[in-house]
Chain A
Amino acid sequence: MTAEEQFNKVDEGEVITGRPFTVSRDTIQAFADASLDYNPLHFDDNYMKNKFGKTSFDGVIMHGMQNFALITRTLTDWLIPRGGFHRRLETRWLKPVQLGHTITPVVTLQSKKKTEKGYWLLFDVEVTNQDGMLVAMGNAMAEFIDVIPGKR
């Protein structure tokens, strides 16, 4: 299938719900071992009793980039079988995510855009916690493309 045909097969307004993710010390350890980010913010209960400027946290927090990786997975789980190529992700973290919290990314295909040489998908991203509160927002872009850049 050509990029144009793949582009024509997806519809604006489609809502993609990611897999819910519950934070535990084990998930934090696994993410640290994968990302090599061993900041004490994610491990050290005593350290987290400190104030960080005006901010204080109620215990250790999940890595912000764990959220980024979960949003990426939500996008690529949907894109890869449709032949889409993940191009961009922008995120803003609104609330810290703590042990025991369950977060779920929801991505909406907000619009499709044909440019001179490209077939683009524009997504809105929201991540909510178990109480329905927004913990992260963002935007993403994907492209249908006939040849992946750099392919040999």
Chain B
Amino acid sequence: MTILDLDNFETDFWKDVDKRATWDQIIPGELRDTTPVTLTKEVIARFAKGVGEDNPLYFDEEYAKTTIYGGIIAPPSIHILLMFACTTTEDWMRSPGTINAGQNWSYHVPIRPGDTITMRGTALDRFIRKDRLFAVHENSFTNQHGEIVCTGRGQTIRPA
């Protein structure tokens, strides 16, 4: 179990750039290298604040208990953070110039403080359209009970 440490995250996305798969090297279906992370109440609150989510459901246990959720949960959009928290500095999603073209995400079991989340990610497909190099990624996140938290598909334009 690795508690996510936001303060020691590598913010230089040029680091290890030569070790990352380029569009030519991406093999559709190949799994990305991922590590499970544990999300504390503090990490959830910090994510919520950073993205402007001010509903007390995400940080106030007394309020959260009165809702259908029965306690604090993470904002559904926390997969945005998990995409980088669960991958390494050699992961191609960090490649400078990666341009997001669109996303769809489906949500099932909400993440709660103390949950350990595992990511499974692939580039399911790649193609060239209008002179641009695309990758299609599919990701799923599960909790420590083996339950699906959320799944998502996205497209990025890869740096040429």
Q: Which residues of A contact B (CB under 8 A)?
A: 21, 30-41, 47, 50, 52-55, 63-66, 68-70, 72-73, 76-77, 80, 83, 85-93, 145, 148-151
Asked whether any CB of chain A lies closer than 8 Å to the CB of B49, the reply is yes
Known: A149-B147, A151-B69. Contact between A40 and B53, CB under 8 A? no
Which of A68, A73, A148 interacts with B53 by CB under 8 Å? A73
Q: How far is the CA of A65 from the CA of B143 in the complex (A)?
A: 23
Tell me the nearest residue of chain B to A50, going by C-beta: B97
Which A residues touch B13, using CB under 8 A? 38-40
Could you tell me the distance between the alpha carbons of A41 and B159 in the complex, rounded to whole angstroms? Answer: 11
Asked whether B109 lies within 8 Å of A149 as measured between CB atoms, the reply is yes
When the two chains form their complex, are residues B77 and A80 in contact, meaning their CB atoms are under 8 A apart? no
Kindly provide the distance from the CB of B115 to the nearest chain A CB, expressed in whole angstroms. Answer: 10
Contact partner, B47, options A32, A34, A76, A89, Cβ 8 Å: A34
Q: Which residues of A contact B132 (CB under 8 A)?
A: 53-54
Instruction: Decide yes or no whether B12 CB sits under 8 A from chain A.
Output: yes
Q: Is B11 within 8 A of A80, CB to CB?
A: no
Task: Give the interface size bracket for B toward A.
Answer: 35 or more
Closest to A149 in B: B109
Contacts of A77 in B (CB 8 A): 55
Instruction: List the A side residues contacting B160 at CB < 8 Å.
Output: 52-53
Q: Whose C-beta in chain B lies nearest to the C-beta of A144?
A: B68
A81 to chain B minimum Cβ distance, whole angstroms, is: 9
Residues of chain A contacted by B46 (CB below 8 angstroms)? 34
Give B contacts to A, CB under 8 Å.
6, 9, 11-14, 46-47, 49-53, 55, 57, 67-70, 75-77, 80-81, 83-85, 94, 96-110, 130-133, 143, 145, 147, 157, 159-160
Which chain A residue lies CB-closest to B47? A34
Assess whether B57 is in contact with A52, with CB atoms less than 8 Å apart: no
Bound: A39/B20 CA distance, A: 14
A68 adjacent to B77 (CB under 8 Å): yes
Residue of A35, A86, A145 near B84 (CB, 8 A) is A35
- Nearest-Cβ distance from residue A141 to partner chain B, whole angstroms: 8
Residues in B whose Cβ lies below 8 Å from that of A65: 77, 80, 100, 103
Structural contact, B143 and A38, CB atoms closer than 8 A = no
Q: Does B55 lie within 8 Å of A76, measured CB to CB?
A: yes
Q: Chain A contacts of B6 at CB under 8 A?
A: 33, 36
Q: Which residue of A lies closest to B145 (CB)?
A: A150
Check B67 against A76 for contact (C-beta < 8 Å).
no
From the candidates A35, A85, A87, A90, name the one contacting B51 in the complex (CB within 8 A). A35
CB neighbours of A70 from chain B (8 A): 52
A residues less than 8 Å from B55 (CB atoms)? 76-77, 80
CB-based nearest B residue for A142: B107
Q: Given A35-B50, A36-B9, check contact A88 B145 (CB 8 Å).
A: no
Check if A76 sits within 8 Å of B103, measured CB to CB.
no
Give min CB distance, A32 to chain B, whole Å: 8
Whether B84 and A72, one on each chain, are in contact in the complex, defined by CB atoms closer than 8 angstroms, is no
